[in-house]
Amino acid sequence: MAAKSIPTQFEDISRDDSWARTKDLLRQFNNPALSWEESQALLAQMFAQCEGATVTPPLFMGGGRNIRLGKKVYINQGLTISGGAPVSIGDYTLIAPWVQIHATTHPVDPWERQQVAFTAKPISIGENVWIGAGAIICPGVTIGDHAVIAAGAVVSQDVARCTLVAGNPAQVVRQLDEPDMATIYAKREG
């Protein structure tokens, strides 16, 4: 099922206090003078949900209040998330450095592009996904549980669970074995 686009007018951006608040929190979070504990404590204010996630600065995003991080998500440095629509990242997902997650896009038609600031489609990233360095996740994409996105991949279509994709545009490289759910998280929970 295709994700529904959410159009945003230029005037809506200038009146949105949450964007200004997010930018203020990001300035604090990305401040190198902050201790690790201080930066991690800001996460609960920056995201709609953040259950024991670890995020390494710097972080770049807009509209953090519609972004949900699952339990024990690990995000390495340089993640960019352009919100505008809900973005959910499932439990135990690992995100490598300099990944881009873009729920927003702009109209292709030049006239329409001047009327609408951007459109956005929700992104859903499943449980125990690994997203390699420099990968780009496009608007409206759903990535299934236990999938692997290779470094540098540009994901513009949904990715099935337990699938490895690579390339631009991302293509299926191979199917992965289903994990043993009885033992998969034992080390991280122990």
Which member of 106, 113, 174, 188 is catalytic?
106
| φ, ψ for residue 153, nearest 5 deg | -70, 145
106 an active-site residue?
yes
145-to-89, 93, 149, 162 alpha-carbon distances in Å: 10, 9, 12, 6
Q: What is the DSSP string of 104-133?
A: EE--SSHHHHHH-SEEE--EEE-TT-EE-T
- On whether the CB atoms of residues 152 and 134 are closer than 8 A, the answer is yes
* Cβ atoms of 185 and 89 closer than 8 Å: no
Q: Is 57 helix (H, G, I), strand (E, B) or coil?
A: coil
Residue 11 structure tokens: 């005037």
Catalytic residues: 106
